[in-house]
Amino acid sequence: MTQKKRIALVAHDERKDDLKAWAKDNAETLKQHEIFATGTTGKLIQDSCNLPVNRLKSGPLGGDQQLGAMIAEEKLDILIFFWDPMAAQPHDVDVKALLRMAVLYNVPCACNRSTADYMVSSELFSKDYNPIRKDYSGYLGRFEENQ
């Protein structure tokens, strides 16, 4: 993970205003990094915070899966995902898969403003950082035996 981070910003509908407010408060810091976002969230951040955003598809149309693939390919360093704990999402399976990938690849993940605040205020946020990745190769044999 280099000094310039590749950061994903994602928010469910009821949390978009929260993420927009957080991004506005941290726009100067975020400008120093490369931002990715799912469709509608990306447009909102781009327009309201004047930040360049690499926009992907909307979450339900595959944007969450695109971000998961970026994590697996080690093309994403940080995930900030303000998800709505009060509403069932039609693409809950995709959301769970995205969060699983973040944990699997040891990608820092903030699901609320407090955690996002701690993350951007960390001295590690602006430095090179080498996260320790767990070696899951021992699991491969177990998966092959079950098939």
pLDDT, tens only, 5-27: 999 999 999 999 999 999 999 99
DSSP secondary structure string for all residues of 3-24: SS-EEEEEE-GGGHHHHHHHHH
Query: What is the domain range of residue 134?
Result: 6-145
Residue 1 domain-assigned (yes or no): no
Q: Of the listed 47, 64, 84, 92, which one is catalytic?
A: 64
**Residue 137: both structure tokens together:** 């190769």
Question: Are 7 and 78 within 8 A, CB to CB?
Answer: yes
Residue 80 domain-assigned (yes or no): yes
CATH code of 116's domain: 3.40.50.1380
Total structural domains within the chain:
1
pTM here is 0.91
Residue 26 domain-assigned (yes or no): yes
Residue 10 domain-assigned (yes or no): yes
Task: Check if 64 is active-site.
Answer: yes
Give pLDDT tens digits for 82-100: 998 898 877 788 889 999 9
DSSP classification of residue 59: G
